[in-house]
Structure 1
Amino acid sequence: MRIRTNVRQRHVICATLLALAGGAACAQSSVTLYGELDAGLAYVNNVGDHALYKLTSGVIDGSYWGLQGTEDLGGGAKAIFRLERGYSVATGEGFNDHPFYVGLGTETLGTLTLGHQYDSIHDYFAPFTLTGGTGGTAFAHPFDNDNANNSFLAANSVKYTSANYGGFSFGGLYGFSNAAGQFANNRAYSVGANYSNGPFNAGAAYLHNNGRGNTTGGAYEPMNLPGADSTVFPAIVQRQNTFGVGTSFAIGEFTLAGAFSRSINSGVINADTGDAESSIALNNYEINGVYQLTPAIALAGMYVYTNGGGAHWHQGALQADYLLSKRTDVYLESIYQRASSGAPAVINTNDPATGRNQLMIATGIRHRF
């Protein structure tokens, strides 16, 4: 039977326990409701050989709501949890693209969490890309092939995140297949580290998958990869290795960053048709900068070159963001992508273009609560 108590009753109980324990303190806990809404308008010049005008949701950040909380366990230890749910402001559709986890942590030893979580690419590499920072969703590398935009989270995962030791931090994650007799079928693991010293920051991460997308209950879902005749298909990958390194340096109000990643995919199967596809390794070279022009105005830009599988992509983007208040801002951004002949041009959040070029111009408003 569950016993419910009001605030006054809890205070009485705590005081009684304190007296009985001779000075032992009752655990302190907190729960926070938070989230973000991102919606706007966009023009895309080439989607299936037609111009597209649309209401957007999450061009920078995916809209979501969440609950997170802690409970003091004493001795510097605490229990933590986080529950988030993504959704489309435009349609109301829900998305399973945010974390759910519970765990334990201390300020000196770090945290251990279990659930549906971001991998080490997100934690230690993505912050040096513009898609993992102020640029957001539409600034992802082609097909988000390195998961810098965290298109996928690891299910069934156990994750460790260290404390900060003189500017150095590290972590790792293991995602179970959750399949009897198939321990390595759709399992994953990742590791990463970061070092920060004043204006200088650097990080590196590695992610490995076995049988990605082979099962519906494993660590990861299928990913998108480029196919023949300018197509994009959902790919089951029997062996995937992704690694990335990045660095940034702040000079006054300007931060310059560079990032390199490589995603190697072998044993590729078309999830729609079951046909075998060619293995492909994709390399991403990015340089980006963010300038805080005034306390309310931030300007950002990037250039990314991606190559692999006999094709290449050039992508450039600009963004201006203006704070109306501490919680609300408006933005304007433009992304242009040009693919080599026979390769699909597709800016993240859009369908592929007919031809080698795609341009997106978007404006929107974000509110955080």
Structure 2
Amino acid sequence: MLKKLAPAALLVPCLSAHAQSSVTLYGIIDIGINYLNNAQTAKTATGFKGGHQWAVMDGGTGGIQGSRWGLKGAEDLGGGMKAIFVLENGFSANNGTLGQGGAEFGRQAWVGISADKYGKVTLGRQYDEVVDFYAPLLAAPQWGGYMTEHPSDLDNASNTRRINNSIKYTSPTIAGFTMAGLYSLGGVAGSFGTNRIWSVGAGYANGPLSIGAGYLNAANPNTSFYGSNPNAGPATSNNLGAVGSPTSPQSNPIYAGYASAKSLQIAAVAASYAIGPTTLGLAYSNTRFQDLGSSSGPNPFGYRGTAYFHNVEANAKWQVTPALLLGAALDYTKGVGANGHDGAKYELASVGADYFLSKRTDVYTIAVYEHASGTDSLNQPAVATITGMTPSTTNNQVAVRVGIRHKF
């Protein structure tokens, strides 16, 4: 017994010496059953066959939140300063595989210094400022999840892509106002600007009003941004789908054809206002694939110039009781294609209900309908493509999910 207790006793001085430090283990498991109609199956000479699809899917592909576990910590350095870190792993709850292309800590991995008066500086794999300030005011992170997100998460509001090799500054919050900036070094010898990414943003929250705005600029996005997950890309001439997903050339017809863009620019702003138990929100984003035809990626359709998307979302949520939340949203996306093409249009309507069994466990349901028209980035008639789901064989698609989420 004494031999067993002795090693534990040796730990006591160490724990006392670090009494001002803390490390927290946390996580989320989100899993559910998804139904999808008109899902593409086998390809024939005349196109894709379609069918109904039932699947058990992780929260990261249709649920409210992707499953994850993480460690976060802080050490008091004195004088209002702390050393801080986050390591966050994403995984699929239905099969146990790693998320984010197989990265061990693919969601976040950073360390830095914070000061009460001056804000914080962090380095590592981090979120951009569109995600930090614009995204929280959308339907998706509040109650709708990934499949209510803008088509193929074209403005990265659902954080499909993180920023590697980044340095980030976040100001303290003063009178409800916060600002931040991020810079990612490309790391290419002799070419400082190649693969670099920078982002800025600001937010304001005071009483019932919240406002958030963010901007992202990525050079050579096919590799620097869309290739930021280990197995995600970059896109090649044989797999244009790698821009959105590595699974198949048809996996992301919304903007996979724009892999040759020399730069990607996303500008976004959103606001919400609470009236009693009801919160109303409005958001706009502009996503631009500029200087198409560069050597950054394949260009099988010979695109030149700029292709871009306007996106407008209106959302509402109603806290019916402390345990029951209802939500609804409408989203409209208008694409302007390269080479004089009109581009595609996507109209999305979604509703959801979330019931909390406890502070840490809830059950929910989400229903989404999407209609597509026009010509997509692969120079073909646009089909409905609900984010995270298999594209439709037609210009209409419906998805329904019933899920459960537990936080620890």
How far apart in 1 are the matches of 2:204 and 2:403?
34
Q: Deviations over 1:285-307 (max 9, x none)?
A: 00001111001000011000000
Instruction: Between 138-147 and 210-219, report the one with greater CA deviation.
Output: 210-219
Residue of structure 2 in register with 1:158 after alignment:
167
Q: Residues 270-321 of structure 1: CA distance to partner in whole angstroms, max 9, x if unpaired?
A: 9995534464100110000111100100001100000012221100100100
Pick from 126, 137, 158: which aligns with 1:117?
Answer: 126
Query: Does the CA-based 8 Å contact 1:120-1:206 persist in structure 2?
Result: yes
Residue 281 (str. 1) matches residue 308 (str. 2):
yes
Higher mean C-alpha deviation, range 129-138 or range 169-178: 129-138
Taking a change above 3 Å as real, the CA distance of residues 246 and 61 of structure 1, as seen in their structure-2 partners, is same
Which of these residues, 30, 34, 46, is aligned with residue 42 of structure 1?
Answer: 34
Change (3 A) 1:217 1:338: closer
Question: Which of 232, 241, 244 is residue 265 of structure 2 equivalent to?
Answer: 241
After TM superposition, the structure 1 stretch with the greater mean CA deviation from structure 2, 274-283 or 90-99, is: 274-283
Q: Is the 8 A contact 1:156 1:218 kept in 2?
A: no
Say if 2:196 is the partner of 1:191: no
CA–CA distance in 1 between the matches of 2:226 and 2:319? 43
The corresponding residue for 1:331 is 364
CA change 1:305–1:112 in 2 (3 A) is: same
> 1: CA distance between counterparts of 2:31 and 2:55?
11
Unmatched tracts of structure 1, length 5 or more: 15-25
Q: Letter of the 2:311 partner, please give it.
A: N
User: Once the 2 structures are TM-superposed, how far is the Cα of residue 238 of structure 1 from its aligned partner?
Assistant: 1.2
TM-score by length of 2: 0.81
**Cα distance between partner residues in 1 of 2:9 and 2:297:** 53
Task: Name the structure 1 match of 2:390.
Answer: 351
**Deviation, structure 1 residue 9:** 2.4
2:220–2:296 Cα contact (<8 Å) kept:
no
Residue correspondence of structure 1 range 101-140 to structure 2 within 5 A: 101-140=110-149
Change (3 A) 1:47 1:219: closer
Q: More strand per residue: 1 or 2?
A: 1
CA distance 1:137–1:5, change in 2 (3 Å): farther
1:182 Cα deviation after fit: 2.8
Q: 1:331/1:186 Cα in 2 relative to 1: closer, same or farther (>3 Å)?
A: same
Report which of the two has the higher share of helix.
Answer: 2
Q: CA RMSD in A?
A: 2.6
Measured at CA, do residues 291 and 215 of structure 1 come closer, stay the same or move farther in structure 2, by a change above 3 Å?
closer
Residue aligned with 1:90, SS: coil
1:354 partner amino acid: T
Please report how far the alpha carbon of residue 216 of structure 1 lies from its aligned counterpart in structure 2 after TM superposition: 9.1
Of 212, 215, 220 in structure 2, the residue corresponding to residue 211 of structure 1 is 220
* Number of aligned positions between the proteins: 353
Equivalence map 1:47-62=2 (5 Å):
47-48=39-40, 49-58=50-59, 59-62=63-66
Partner-residue secondary structure (3-state), 2:273: strand
User: CA 1:362/1:217 → structure 2, altered by over 3 Å: closer, same or farther?
Assistant: closer
Which residue of structure 1 lines up, in the alignment, with residue 275 of structure 2?
Answer: 251
Residue 124 of structure 1: SS of its match in structure 2? Answer: helix
TM-score of the aligned structures, taking structure 1 as reference length: 0.89
Q: How does 1:220-231 map to 2 (within 5 A)?
A: 223-224=243-244, 231=253
Q: Deviations over 1:177-210 (max 9, x none)?
A: 1222232221110000111221011111111011
3-state SS of 1:131 partner: helix
Aligned mates of 1:118, 1:5 — CA distance in 2: 41
Find the aligned partners of 1:332 and 1:140 in 2 and give their Cα distance.
Answer: 15
Question: What is the CA–CA distance in structure 1 between the aligned matches of 2:15 and 2:388, rounded to whole Å?
Answer: 50
1:7 is aligned with what amino acid? L
Question: What letter matches 2:193 in structure 1?
Answer: A
Q: Deviations over 1:35-73 (max 9, x none)?
A: 000111011011111111100101211101100000000
Letter of the 2:282 partner, please give it: G
Are 1:145 and 2:171 an aligned pair? no
Question: Does the 8 Å CA contact 1:43/1:53 hold for their aligned counterparts?
Answer: yes
Identity, % of aligned positions: 39
Aligned to 1:178: 187
**Alignment pair present for 1:296 and 2:297:** no
2-structure distance, mates of 1:147, 1:327: 27
Conserved 8 A contact 1:132-1:149: yes
* DSSP-derived class of the 2:262 partner: strand
- Amino acid corresponding to residue 348 of structure 2 in structure 1: Q
1:166 match: secondary structure: coil
Residues 105-153 of structure 1: CA distance to partner in whole angstroms, max 9, x if unpaired?
0122111000000000001111121123322211110111100111100
Match of 2:291 in 1: 267
Where in structure 2 are there 5+ consecutive unaligned residues? 1-6, 41-49, 101-105, 235-242, 337-341, 375-380
Q: Which amino acid aligns with 2:56?
A: L
CA contact (8 A) 1:121 1:205 kept: yes
User: 3-state DSSP class of the match of 1:132?
Assistant: helix
Measure how far apart 1:218 and its partner are.
Answer: 7.5
| 3-state SS, counterpart of residue 133 of structure 1 | helix
> Where does residue 84 of structure 2 map in the other structure?
80
